[in-house]
Amino acid sequence: MAFIEIEGLTKKYGEAVYALRSFSLEVAKGEWLAVMGPSGSGKSTLLNILGCLDSPTEGRVAIDGEDLGGLGPAELARFRAEKVGFIFQQFHLVPYLTALENVMLAQYFHSLAEEQEAAEALRRVGLGDRLHHLPSQLSGGEQQRVCVARALINQPNLILADEPTGNLDEVNETIVMGLFTELHREGHTIVMVTHDAEIGRMTERRIELHHGRLADVSDFPAREEELIDNLLKAVWHAQEDTGKTVLAVEALPEFVPNRATFLLMAQEELIRLDGGSLALTAYGEPRAREIIRRHRLAERLFFDTFGLEAGLLDANACRIEHTLGFEVTEKLCKFLKHPETCPHGSPIPRGACCLRK
């Protein structure tokens, strides 16, 4: 049985306005799902229904085996308090309560307000020295982190995030998405609405809504690996160009549009992100070297053997580099007689076969 079961969900306003139309979906326990789509596609409506803030016109929604349609208003409030954690784009902290009290408020509606537990939740999100600050005294990222702490304080089964980084700058976005990655690793089920494709790439699965209907479902693993390889290449190139192993992130044009993936690579320990600097790790460097080797050997093959023009080498090499396995790469290197540079003059990293030569 799926953790979230949605069958034939329809939400209609008036006679002709459909926010959701015959929408069906299953979400597994511990899954991180991104809900994407243009404005008015029904993303927030879906989130509100899952969070018991709204009720469907038709259809069935069950969370953790509980049919939400059979619950009355008081039971829905109880369900929200016990099983759902909300994270809003606008933060929606109570402005006259401190960070600590905002988290305790969520505890209060659940059962009891335990100050120490709330303080620990805030320390976990890096706000241990901001407990008694009012929201007006916190930055946007800090406020969103308070929201994350508030959403988690009652150990909810389901975390619903509506554009959690929509109002944040890149630095705070990275911090908050790091928290989400951690939550996912801990096994929380997360349904997140986002407009940002880069943020969406961090999730396990992405669904796209159009006019209230499910338009697309995609998983990332294969494409994610290709992207990581490309970004490792970019880092390698930047290191070659600057002669530095530690790079400033501003010096890497690929960083900003792929910041979430870089964060993921940092989580996977392929790179090290330290403040505003970036470097390959001992684990990421061999992978980067291998992809560079495959790419440049392919270029050399196209140039020397097929006589391909220089301008077409890079694109064609990119197409095949991910398909070349280790043995084929070694054979190719041997075939090309262990070339030392690519046609553009960049050095080709040495392989085991080159050392045996």
Partner 1 sequence: MSNRPAAQAGKRRSLFWRVWLRSLVVKRPQAALAMGSLLVGAAVAAALLNLYGDVRHKMTQEFRAYGANVILSPAVTPGASSALTVMDDDIVWRLQEIGRQMRGLTFAPQLHVVAQLKPVPADPRLPEFQNVVAVGTDFAALRALYPGWRIQAAKEVGALGPDECVLGAHVAGRLHLAAGGTLELEAASGAPHSTMASRSAFRIAGVLSTGGAEDDRVFLELGSLQRLAGLEGKVSLVELNLPGERAEIERGVQGLVRSLPGVDVRPVHQIVESQGRVLATIRWLAISLTALILVIIGLCVMATMTAIVLERRKDIAVMKALGASDRLVMRLFLSEGAGLGLVGGMAGFALGALLARELARRLFDVSLGLSWWTLPVVVLMSVLLAGASTLFPVRIVRGVEPAVVLKGE
Asked if 64 interacts with partner 1 (CB under 8 A), we say no
- The least CB distance from residue 114 to partner 1, in Å, is 7
Asked if 74 interacts with partner 1 (CB under 8 A), we say yes
Among 90, 139, 242, 305, binds partner 1 (CB under 8 A): 90
Asked if 88 interacts with partner 1 (CB under 8 A), we say yes
Among 57, 67, 69, 115, binds partner 1 (CB under 8 A): 115
- The least CB distance from residue 72 to partner 1, in Å, is 11
Window 140-199: residues binding partner 1 (CB under 8 A): 150
Judged on CB neighbours under 10 Å (0-12, 13-18, 19+), 40 is: middle
Asked if 295 interacts with partner 1 (CB under 8 A), we say no
Asked if 124 interacts with partner 1 (CB under 8 A), we say no
Asked if 82 interacts with partner 1 (CB under 8 A), we say yes
The DSSP symbol for 329 reads H
How many C-beta atoms lie closer than 10 Å to residue 108's C-beta? Answer: 14
- The least CB distance from residue 6 to partner 1, in Å, is 17
Q: Which one, 38 or 286, has the nearer CB to partner 1?
A: 38
CA of 11: how far to CAs of 8, 191, 266, in Å?
10, 19, 41
Tokens matching residue 295:
């790419």
Asked if 97 interacts with partner 1 (CB under 8 A), we say yes
For 258-295, b/e burial (b = at least 16 CB within 10 A) is: bbbbbbbbbeeebbbbeeeebbbbeebbebbbbbbbbb
| Range in contact with partner 1 (rule: CB under 8 A) among 79-87, 137-145, 179-187, 223-231 | 79-87
Judged on CB neighbours under 10 Å (0-12, 13-18, 19+), 123 is: middle
Asked if 73 interacts with partner 1 (CB under 8 A), we say yes
Q: Which one, 105 or 215, has the nearer CB to partner 1?
A: 105
Asked if 86 interacts with partner 1 (CB under 8 A), we say yes
Q: How far apart are CA 326 and CA 324, in angstroms?
A: 7
Among 51, 200, 212, 339, binds partner 1 (CB under 8 A): 51
Window 5-44: residues binding partner 1 (CB under 8 A): 44
Choose among 312, 317, 315, 311: nearest CA to 299.
Answer: 317
Q: How far apart are CA 60 and CA 163, in angstroms?
A: 25
